[in-house]
Amino acid sequence: MNMTCNTLVIGAGPGGYVAAIRAGQLGLDTIIVEGGRVGGTCLIRGCIPSKALIHAADKYAALSQHTGDGHLGISLSEKPVLDFTKTMAWKDGIVDRLNGGVDSLLKKAKVKQVKGWATFKNAKTCVVDTADGPVTITAENVILATGSKATELPFLPFGGDILSSTEALSLTDVPEKLVVVGAGYIGLELGIAYRKLGAQVTFVEADERILATYDRELTAPVQKWLDKHDITVHLGAKATGWNEGSLSYKDKDGNEHTIAADKLLVTVGRRPNLDGWGLENMAVDLDGGFIKIDNMCRTSMKNVWAIGDITGEPMLAHRASAQGEIVAEIIAGRKREFAPNAIAAVCFTDPEIIAVGQSASEAKADGIETIVGKFPLMANGRALTMEAGEGFVRITARKDNHVIIGIHAVGPHISELSGEFALALEMGARLEDIEGTIHVHPTVGESFAESALAALGHAIHI
């Protein structure tokens, strides 16, 4: 079977499906190819299921607090019972609902779906291995959105009791003992969730601290939570092997140790999906192991675009979606480019972390003189009423003109402020703009306004 189209999208993750929907809305004859379910890693086996698991773990941990003497004047005579099979079924139901929603949106935009694995013969033609046989597709424009996958260590291959994040989100029982190799955001999010569900959790991290891409001030409250909940973190430790329920590792002095575990979760990063679909036949340039693109997401081959994780850091779903929308509009003849002032990153740990833009130390390295304002959540009324006093909001601005160049925060539920933070940087806001915006009381968002006031030297509530 042969098919032709104006725009061919390979991969139906948050980058690919957004690109296809927008292309369809703009009247472009569009085909999207996906080997699995639409939604990609983020929706099917990453962002969404992990947040569902985190929410369920939070609920279980919160209810457990009320057992015995109780908490907040609320007590339970018995500890809550966890039926993990039903928890995972609830999580799967959310994934199914969103998967169906994306499928409907593609149909609404008149995007043709071809299910199967695509292999390119040249830059504009691929053969898709479908359940009904091979389908050859030739397109005028190609958008590559094949995403990324978990990095596998050769001495800790995935399978059996050695899990990637995908398998960790599909367990049927909470492991009694869980060891996590890697204390980055994926490992910490899942490790903390399983600790709340009752697992004994240990981290083995090669770096000298957790969440090494964030500054110590941001990660300190997370470390405090780990200590409070009896989670051991071995820093400067390198895993060396797995043998019948036991992980071996070397500490920073080179001494060998072992840790018993029912399950081993390996979260040492992600790498782009560049193999097995004929990239070598497309004459597309690479840059540091990723597909090289310009500020319009164009590759070195004319009318071939690449978006999302295959184009490098930051590997974030919202970056991929933004790129996908822009590329579709460029193909339709609109003038667009991908040049955000900053992209917010969030860790859904306990407490949560937001980072958008530069910190003062990063700005100093670029020769920028700054002023910084920080406001503690313990001084925010709404935060205290939600037992969310741990953490702060920190704002960094240029000293000369007060233009905000970075906003960082840590605290329970703080991720919901990430949009406001990103908007401030995207619009080139100054401290006085935030000061002059009346924030609703009582909300945690008031902490953002107070941090701006602190930078200006006259915070009200501290």
Residue 339 in domain: no
Residue 29 pLDDT:
98
pLDDT at 388: 86
Please check whether residues 38 and 128 belong to one and the same domain.
yes
Q: 402-444: per-residue pLDDT in tens?
A: 999 999 999 999 999 999 999 999 999 999 999 999 999 999 9
pLDDT tens for each residue of 7-29: 999 999 999 999 999 999 999 99
Within 10 Å of residue 289's Cβ, how many Cβ atoms?
10
In a domain, 375, yes or no: yes
When pLDDT is cut at 50, 70 and 90, the band that residue 144 belongs to is very high
- Strand residues in 77-157 grouped as ranges (E): 112-115, 117-122, 125-130, 133-144, 148-150
Mean pLDDT over each residue of the chain, to the nearest integer: 96
Question: What percent of the chain stands above pLDDT 90?
Answer: 98
Bridge partners of 245? none
Structural domain includes residue 157: no
Both 124 and 213 in one domain: the answer is: no
> Is residue 134 situated within a structural domain?
yes
pLDDT band at 389 (very low <50, low <70, confident <90, very high): confident
**40 shares its domain with 116:** yes
Same domain, yes or no: 136 and 283: yes
- Could you give the CA distance from residue 452 to residue 454 in angstroms, rounded to a whole number? 5
Find where tokens 């407490």 sit.
Answer: 351
Query: For residues 326 and 66, what is the distance between their CA atoms, to the nearest angstrom?
Result: 49
Q: Judge whether residue 91 has pLDDT over 90.
A: yes
Sequence-ordered list of residues with C-beta below 8 angstroms from that of 77, at least 6 positions apart, any chain: 67
Q: Is residue 155 part of a domain?
A: no
Q: Are residues 28 and 125 in the same domain?
A: yes
Secondary structure string (H, E, C) spanning 365-394? HCCCCEEEEEEEHHHCHHHHHCCCCCCEEE
CB proximity list for 128: less than 8 A, separation 6 or greater = 33, 114, 116, 117, 118, 119, 134, 135, 136, 137
Quick: pLDDT tens for 273-307. Answer: 999 999 999 999 999 999 999 999 999 999 999 99
In a domain, 282, yes or no: yes
Q: What is the CATH number of the domain that holds 434?
A: 3.30.390.30
Together in a domain, 263 and 278: no
**Residues annotated as part of the active site:** 441
Domain assignment of residue 26, yes or no: yes
Q: How far apart are CA 350 and CA 415, in angstroms?
A: 11
pLDDT at 427: 96
The answer as to whether 362 is a domain residue is yes
Same domain, 7 and 126: yes
What band does 324 get if pLDDT is binned at 50, 70 and 90? very high
Tell me the percentage of the chain whose pLDDT exceeds 70: 100
pLDDT attached to residue 244: 87
Examine the pLDDT at 175 and tell me if it is beyond 90: yes
By residue range, what is the domain housing residue 305?
2-149+272-331
- Comparing CA positions, the residue from 1, 324, 305 lying closest to residue 137 is 1
Domain count within the chain? 3
Query: Do 94 and 32 share a structural domain?
Result: yes
- On whether both 49 and 188 belong to a single domain, the answer is no
- The confidence score (pLDDT) of residue 256 equals 96
CA 148 to chain centre: 12
Q: What is the pLDDT of residue 207?
A: 97
- Name residue 188's amino acid: L
Tokens 């199967």, residue located: 116
pLDDT of residue 261: 97
Question: How far is the C-alpha of 41 from the C-alpha of 337, rounded, in Å?
Answer: 25
* Mean pLDDT (whole number) for 183-209: 98
Does 98 share its domain with 231? no
Domain CATH number, residue 194: 3.50.50.60
Indicate whether 261 and 324 sit together in one domain: no
Do 178 and 215 share a domain, yes or no?
yes
Cα–Cα dist 217/207, whole Å: 17
Q: How many CB atoms are located within 10 Å of the residue 294 CB?
A: 11
| Domain end marker among 331, 359, 378 | 331
